[in-house]
């Protein structure tokens, strides 16, 4: 069988079959048209080793000598042929290729591998998208005569020896997506997620790269796993020098047992190669997102509206009058979508009760949500509503009526002596693997969307799924698929409704949930300083139009920090912009800056939500510069951000990356300008700047070539810590 070569956008994937199974010979730089006879790649055989070269398969197997993490683990519970007319050795399959096809456009491949004696087939789908993003998934079918218990089916890509360092992301509530980095050594680096949801600490991206790879330099091989349940991501670095970067669903004991003829499909592993650092990986993901037909944002003509969310404004205080005032105040500023957060439904006065009873609270809303929705719509805004459909409080009508719908490790309900998992925010999980429970939730959400003019759901999920079982068996897998079906069914019935994936902030941010939702809530932390890092790394994979980003109150509710309005505004601008604050109480200056920011956002969201993300590489870790450059390089927005006190007296000249070196640009500082500053004496402690005089170019702007701006840069003003400067670049002539 001939090798298959998938190529596009500077990336090649080469698959060989000469050893009987599918082998990924190369994933990385484009190889051009001419591929030599791959027999030349056969490795030497060292002493004290297997007598044949070991194959690093698309699905690594011990039957080919692979002693790293196996691609497939499972068994037939010790059954042997004589007793059960099934082969007993399915624990070590020898899957060999029976078919390998490449699509006509050359960008995708379908590979069938089979082991008739073990009774297993695996079909692998590989797609290399325009822009360079690679998708891989496998489907395993039990073709044998008895049950097959699946323990693990992983999806891997090879990483070459040039990769010396690994970067992945981790976090916690209010501090999602922080990078960590180490040198690759022998052994396996595993990131396990047993949260039953993606998890605050899940690694949105795992990237291996050449020594010192950075935002805009080095070769990088990076993956993301598109799954919202338990999972493991790993880099397996073997004694023979080979490395595999991969991921698998983390299955519970006995969770997947395939009857004859049944199949299991892995989530998709997304992989991107870049020869220009992490920004190149980001570019591949953005291109893929924006090419999807259901993508919401500039590229599909559906601009992201300015949001006001009520959570940090009123919390559970859902009195109509203040909410109407808030809506008026929001409309005056130019808000386009008003989102009513938690607290509107039956019995929900605080977070101890009500989840599961998705009826508008008659005591609080005697005329339903209509008076608020009509007011909001009348002011020209869309209305959005918070829901948390997967959860239930024991203090709710639904929990009292259907105790058996509450998930736990026991087959019996808690009312019949079964044990419940520990509570988390006083809540439990509703068993969506139970068709009656699923239907109940679907019907209530469907009714809400049918009876009210709701354009947007903030869909929350506020606890880990611990000891999660259905009829005495672990069932995170089934629950995750049932939640996906719920999203899909509601989207099909209400195609215009947008859905946000929120999970105590960013605990469900992944490409599985994003196949059926329209944005994520990156974090419950609205502190602009924290948000700078959270958004930089969330946006390493997700384009800004999918990342909700709100200006919070002056005193951050989650950290207690106080930030100037210009820093909060510039930070929120680089996302799907909104506010989450009782803006009725904002000072005149704050309201003026908010109004100007909303105008800026409306003017520039076309650019922000279609351009290429750039992140400068600067030596001082407290100084950052990031931006969005138009695809045609005609304009750009940059933010220079000072996270903490800088080592040097002045920030120095900072290069503006990503512009066309041959064109001339005009650079202007557009926030803060004198109009945004407090009307107090020069040098006042409230000023974002600490300097006797600003850099020469700042007052009237600068004109220079893209090459000059990138290589020489512009001297930045002396910004105080936790402040930012917004710059705009436009081509001249």
Residue positions annotated with a catalytic role: 460, 524
The piece of 174-182, 184-192, 471-479, 497-505 that touches ligand GLA (CB under 6 A) is 497-505
Continuous segment of H or E residues that includes residue 134: strand 134-142
Contact 421, 467 (CB under 8 A): yes
87 contributes a contact to ligand GLA by CB under 6 A: no
Instruction: Describe the chain by its helix, strand, coil percentages, rounded to 5.
Output: 20, 30, 50
504 contributes a contact to ligand GLA by CB under 6 A: yes
Residue 97: beta bridge partners? 113
| Minimal distance, residue 521 CB to ligand GLA, in Å | 6
Instruction: Please name the residues in contact with 407: beta carbons below 8 A apart, sequence gap of 6 or more.
Output: 421, 428, 429, 430, 431, 465, 468, 469, 470, 475, 479
The piece of 290-298, 372-380, 488-496, 500-508 that touches ligand GLA (CB under 6 A) is 500-508
- Alpha-carbon distances of 273 from 128, 155, 223, 233, 280, rounded to whole Å: 11, 16, 9, 17, 8
| Minimal distance, residue 641 CB to ligand GLA, in Å | 24
How far apart are the C-alpha atoms of 550 and 532, rounded to whole Å?
A: 12
342 contributes a contact to ligand GLA by CB under 6 A: yes
| Minimal distance, residue 522 CB to ligand GLA, in Å | 10
Contact 486, 434 (CB under 8 A): no
524 contributes a contact to ligand GLA by CB under 6 A: yes
518 contributes a contact to ligand GLA by CB under 6 A: no
Secondary structure of residue 493 in the 3-state scheme: helix
| Minimal distance, residue 386 CB to ligand GLA, in Å | 5
How far apart are the C-alpha atoms of 274 and 219, rounded to whole Å?
A: 6
- Binder among 505, 548, 552, 657 for ligand GLA (CB under 6 A): 505
How far apart are the C-alpha atoms of 293 and 298, rounded to whole Å?
A: 12
Residue nearest to ligand GLA (CB): 342
| Minimal distance, residue 157 CB to ligand GLA, in Å | 33
The piece of 155-163, 181-189, 201-209, 498-506 that touches ligand GLA (CB under 6 A) is 498-506
456 contributes a contact to ligand GLA by CB under 6 A: no
- Binder among 201, 249, 460, 518 for ligand GLA (CB under 6 A): 460
Q: Going residue by residue from 173 to 192, which x/- string records binding to ligand GLA, judged by CB under 6 A? A: --------------------
The piece of 241-249, 259-267, 361-369, 499-507 that touches ligand GLA (CB under 6 A) is 499-507
Tokens in use for 117? 């004696």
| Minimal distance, residue 304 CB to ligand GLA, in Å | 18
- Binder among 502, 583, 625, 725 for ligand GLA (CB under 6 A): 502
Q: Which is nearer to ligand GLA, 272 or 520 (CB)?
A: 520
Q: Which is nearer to ligand GLA, 485 or 557 (CB)?
A: 557
Instruction: Please name the residues in contact with 578: beta carbons below 8 A apart, sequence gap of 6 or more.
Output: 306, 307, 308, 309, 335, 337, 548, 549, 550, 551, 572
Buried b (16+ CB within 10 A) or exposed e, 232-253: bbbbbbbebebbbbbbbbbbbe
| Minimal distance, residue 203 CB to ligand GLA, in Å | 20
| Minimal distance, residue 109 CB to ligand GLA, in Å | 40
Q: Going residue by residue from 96 to 135, which x/- string records binding to ligand GLA, judged by CB under 6 A? A: ----------------------------------------
| Minimal distance, residue 602 CB to ligand GLA, in Å | 24
Q: Which is nearer to ligand GLA, 317 or 443 (CB)?
A: 317
Phi, psi (deg, nearest 5) at residue 626: -135, 165
Other Cβ atoms closer than 10 A to 419: 10
Q: Which is nearer to ligand GLA, 236 or 524 (CB)?
A: 524
527 contributes a contact to ligand GLA by CB under 6 A: no
How far apart are the C-alpha atoms of 77 and 148, rounded to whole Å?
A: 8
| Minimal distance, residue 505 CB to ligand GLA, in Å | 5
The DSSP string of 499-540 is EEE-BTTBSS-STTGGGS-SEEE--S---HHHHHHHHHHHTT
Given CA atoms 582, 583, 588, 589 in this order, what sign does their dihedral have?
positive
Contact 275, 240 (CB under 8 A): no
How far apart are the C-alpha atoms of 176 and 507, rounded to whole Å?
A: 8
Q: Which is nearer to ligand GLA, 42 or 172 (CB)?
A: 172
Q: Going residue by residue from 362 to 401, which x/- string records binding to ligand GLA, judged by CB under 6 A? A: ------------------------x---------------
Q: Which is nearer to ligand GLA, 87 or 548 (CB)?
A: 548
Directed axis angle between helix 476-493 and helix 435-451, to 10°? 30
Q: Which is nearer to ligand GLA, 341 or 612 (CB)?
A: 341
How far apart are the C-alpha atoms of 638 and 625, rounded to whole Å?
A: 7
Q: Which is nearer to ligand GLA, 115 or 341 (CB)?
A: 341
Contact 177, 522 (CB under 8 A): yes
How far apart are the C-alpha atoms of 17 and 327, rounded to whole Å?
A: 63
| Minimal distance, residue 580 CB to ligand GLA, in Å | 8
Contact 258, 148 (CB under 8 A): yes
Q: Which is nearer to ligand GLA, 201 or 460 (CB)?
A: 460
State which of positions 284-313 bind ligand GLA (CB under 6 A).
Answer: 311
Q: Which is nearer to ligand GLA, 189 or 424 (CB)?
A: 424
- Binder among 230, 266, 274, 462 for ligand GLA (CB under 6 A): 462
Q: Which is nearer to ligand GLA, 27 or 521 (CB)?
A: 521
Continuous segment of H or E residues that includes residue 447: helix 435-451
State which of positions 212-251 bind ligand GLA (CB under 6 A).
Answer: none
- Binder among 255, 283, 336, 341 for ligand GLA (CB under 6 A): 341
Site residues for ligand GLA per CB under 6 A = 311, 341-342, 386, 460, 462, 502, 504-505, 521, 524
């Amino acid at each position: 069988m001939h090798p298959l070569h998938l190529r596009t956008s500077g990336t090649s994937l080469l698959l060989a079959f000469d050893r009987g199974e599918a082998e990924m010979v190369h994933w990385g730089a484009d190889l051009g048209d001419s591929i030599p006879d791959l027999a030349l790649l056969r490795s030497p055989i060292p002493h004290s080793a297997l007598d044949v070269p070991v194959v690093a398969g698309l699905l690594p197997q011990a039957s080919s000598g692979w002693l790293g993490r196996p691609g497939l683990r499972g068994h037939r519970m010790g059954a042997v042929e004589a007793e059960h007319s099934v082969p007993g050795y399915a624990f070590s399959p020898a899957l060999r290729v029976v078919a390998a096809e490449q699509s006509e456009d050359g960008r995708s491949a379908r590979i069938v591998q089979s082991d008739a004696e073990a009774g297993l087939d695996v079909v692998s789908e590989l797609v290399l998208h325009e822009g360079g993003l690679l998708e891989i998934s496998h489907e395993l079918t039990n073709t044998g005569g008895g049950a097959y218990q699946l323990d693990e089916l992983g999806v891997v890509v090879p990483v070459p020896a040039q990769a010396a360092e690994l970067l992945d992301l981790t976090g916690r509530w209010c501090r999602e997506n922080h990078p960590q980095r180490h040198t690759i050594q022998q052994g396996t680096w595993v990131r396990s997620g047993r949260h039953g949801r993606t998890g605050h600490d899940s690694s949105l991206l795992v990237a291996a790269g050449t020594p010192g790879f950075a935002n805009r330099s080095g070769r990088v091989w990076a993956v993301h796993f598109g799954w919202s349940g338990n999972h493991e991501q790993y880099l397996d670095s073997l004694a023979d020098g080979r490395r595999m970067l991969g991921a698998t669903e983390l299955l519970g004991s006995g969770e997947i047992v395939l009857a004859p003829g049944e199949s299991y499909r892995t989530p998709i592993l997304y992989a991107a190669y870049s020869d220009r650092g992490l920004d190149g990986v980001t570019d591949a993901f953005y291109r893929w997102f924006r090419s999807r037909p259901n993508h919401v944002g500039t590229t599909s003509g559906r601009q992201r509206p300015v949001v006001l969310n009520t959570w940090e404004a009123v919390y559970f205080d859902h009195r109509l009058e203040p909410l109407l005032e808030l809506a008026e105040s929001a409309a005056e500023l130019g808000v386009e979508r008003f989102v009513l957060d938690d607290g509107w439904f039956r019995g929900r006065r605080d977070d101890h009760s009500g989840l599961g009873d998705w009826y508008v609270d008659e005591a609080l809303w005697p005329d339903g949500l209509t008076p608020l929705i009509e007011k909001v719509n009348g002011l020209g805004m869309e209305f959005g509503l918070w829901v948390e459909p997967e959860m239930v409080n024991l203090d709710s009508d639904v929990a009292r009526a259907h105790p058996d719908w509450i998930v736990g490790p026991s087959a019996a309900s808690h009312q019949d002596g079964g044990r419940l998992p520990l509570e988390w925010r006083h809540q439990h999980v509703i068993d969506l693997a139970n068709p009656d429970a699923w239907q109940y939730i679907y019907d209530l959400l469907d009714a809400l969307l049918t009876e009210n003019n709701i354009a947007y759901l903030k869909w929350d999920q506020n606890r880990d799924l611990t000891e999660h079982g259905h009829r005495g068996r672990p069932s995170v897998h089934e629950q995750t698929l049932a939640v996906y079906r719920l999203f899909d069914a509601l989207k099909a019935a209400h195609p215009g409704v947008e859905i946000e994936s929120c999970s105590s902030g960013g605990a469900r941010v992944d490409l599985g949930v994003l196949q059926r939702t329209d944005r994520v809530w990156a974090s419950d932390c609205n502190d602009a300083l924290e948000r700078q890092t959270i958004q930089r790394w969330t946006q390493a994979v997700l384009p800004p139009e999918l990342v909700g980003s709100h200006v919070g109150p002056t005193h951050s509710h989650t950290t207690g920090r106080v930030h100037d309005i210009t820093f909060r505004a510039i930070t929120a601008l680089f996302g799907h912009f909104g506010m989450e604050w009782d803006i009725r109480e904002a000072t005149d200056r704050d309201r003026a800056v908010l109004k100007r920011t909303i105008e800026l956002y409306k003017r520039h969201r076309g650019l922000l939500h279609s351009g290429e993300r750039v992140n400068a590489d600067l030596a001082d870790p407290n100084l950052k510069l990031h931006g969005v450059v138009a695809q045609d390089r005609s304009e750009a927005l940059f933010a220079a951000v000072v996270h903490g006190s800088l080592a040097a007296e002045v920030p120095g000249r900072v290069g503006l990356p990503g512009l066309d070196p041959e064109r001339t640009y005009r650079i202007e500082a557009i926030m803060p300008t004198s109009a945004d500053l407090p009307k107090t004496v020069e040098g006042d402690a409230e000023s974002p700047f600490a300097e006797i005089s600003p850099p020469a170019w700042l007052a009237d702007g600068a004109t220079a070539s893209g090459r000059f701006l990138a290589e020489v840069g512009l001297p930045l003003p002396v910004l105080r810590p936790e402040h930012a400067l917004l710059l705009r670049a436009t081509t001249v002539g």
